[in-house]
Structure 1
Amino acid sequence: MSDLDQLTQSLARNLKRWRGERGFTLDALAARAGVSRGMIIQIEQARTNPSVGTTVKIADALGVSITTLLDYEQGAQVRIVTEDQAVRLWSTPAGSRSVLLVGAESNGPLEMWSWTLMPGDASASDPHPAGTFELIHVITGELTLLVDGASHRVPAGASASFEAGVEHSYRNEGSEVVEMIMSVSVPPVR
């Protein structure tokens, strides 16, 4: 089974499980996530690989991390994720990418990401649930962080935090590659 097939099967199985645990009907989850009922059916039947944005919306609506939604190895108290096991969710032909390094279910989903943004590339995000926070640390380059229409420059060595319940995006407007680490904390579903 290819990595993509394994990921598709894991997502299907975990989506069914978490939707069932939350007691959400297909219609209820579709409404909460802002995606079509048909898309959720296709994902649960492992007939499609949804976009990163769709996956994030569904995870947020379920109150779980993307790690939990995609994970096919649950169990041990200490979980080691090797570089080849990290999940690449977003990439561009220029070489920009985001990689989900590791995540946990605590008082809500908590995720750690590795991002690379090539010069001129950008990635936009829809608002996350109220109370979601993102922490960013820029390793190289200078990140342009747009939060709710306001632009913020985050140079190498600097960190930023913000409430991510508004539209936000990450841009590399410079000539150097931006490497950054990002953590996302989503409040639990109530």
Structure 2
Amino acid sequence: MPDPDLVSRALARNLKRLRAERGHTLDALAARSGVSRGMIVQIEQGRTNPSVATVVRLGDALGVSIATLLDYEEGPDVRIIPGDQAVPLWTGVSGGTGTLLHGIEAPGPLELWEWRMEPGEEYSSEPHPAGTVEIVRVDEGELTLVHDGAGRPVPAGSTVSFDAAYAHVYRNAGDRVLRLTMVVSVPPPR
């Protein structure tokens, strides 16, 4: 696992750089993202560890993936991310994790995630920008996917795709570990 300070510094540096490249003031980025100006300042100064939802909103407003915001290495055309360098971004109350394995811009953000959720854990996601699609493969256990208010069981070995512009929840309602592999595709900014 990468040093949390390294990730925090990378987020601060990349957020500031991307905001400047796009010509956004702090107030403009706050308005576009729904993240307060004060929070953006704290992130750019490396003084806070924002939630996944906050990082997602900032990435969406800037038209980049979470991986781009957290990229602590400027790499060549081929990038290999060692397993111990993957960035865990969500931790459940019972020890589950949501880990960003890799991400690219192609032409919009494209992210690969690995999730492990203990029994009783859930993650609620805000709606993503229109056109965002998620594909989830249930590797172990059973996922209860709540999409636009309706719950759907997705057993191990199944893959589900859905329009992520609606609120959605990943829930482990079972009595054993749930493991997921997820791809998130966000359209390029307009």
Q: Which TM-score band (shorter chain)?
A: over 0.9
Q: Where do 1:170-185 residues align within 5 Å? A: 170-185=170-185
Give the match for residue 141 of structure 2. 141
Other structure's SS at 1:166 match: coil
Q: Where do 1:1-190 residues align within 5 Å? A: 3-190=3-190
**Residues of 2 paired with 1:35 and 1:55: CA distance?**
9
**Residues of 2 paired with 1:158 and 1:4: CA distance?**
34
> Stretches of 4+ moved more than 4 A in 1?
none
Letter of the 1:164 counterpart: A
Larger displacement relative to structure 2 (18-27 or 180-189): 18-27
**Residues of 2 paired with 1:109 and 1:187: CA distance?**
7
Post-superposition Cα deviations, 1:22-49, rounded to whole Å, max 9, x if no partner, equal 2211111111111100100111111111
Q: Root-mean-square deviation (CA), in Å? A: 1.0
**Residues of 1 paired with 2:103 and 2:150: CA distance?**
29
**Residues of 2 paired with 1:36 and 1:44: CA distance?**
12
Q: % of aligned pairs identical?
A: 60
- Aligned residues, how many? 189
Letter of the 1:160 counterpart: V
TM-score calculated relative to the size of structure 2:
0.97
Q: How far apart are residue 177 of structure 1 and its match? A: 0.9
Q: How far apart are residue 75 of structure 1 and its match? A: 2.1
CA contact (8 A) 2:12 2:43 kept: yes
CA contact (8 A) 2:93 2:121 kept: no
**Residues of 2 paired with 1:117 and 1:75: CA distance?**
31
CA contact (8 A) 2:116 2:178 kept: yes
Post-superposition Cα deviations, 1:70-102, rounded to whole Å, max 9, x if no partner, equal 011122111111111000001124121100000
Larger displacement relative to structure 2 (69-78 or 154-163): 69-78
Q: How far apart are residue 20 of structure 1 and its match? A: 1.2
Other structure's SS at 2:130 match: coil
Letter of the 1:25 counterpart: T
Other structure's SS at 2:42 match: helix
**Residues of 2 paired with 1:18 and 1:46: CA distance?**
15
Other structure's SS at 1:31 match: helix
CA contact (8 A) 2:133 2:163 kept: yes
Q: How far apart are residue 176 of structure 1 and its match? A: 1.6
Letter of the 2:138 counterpart: V
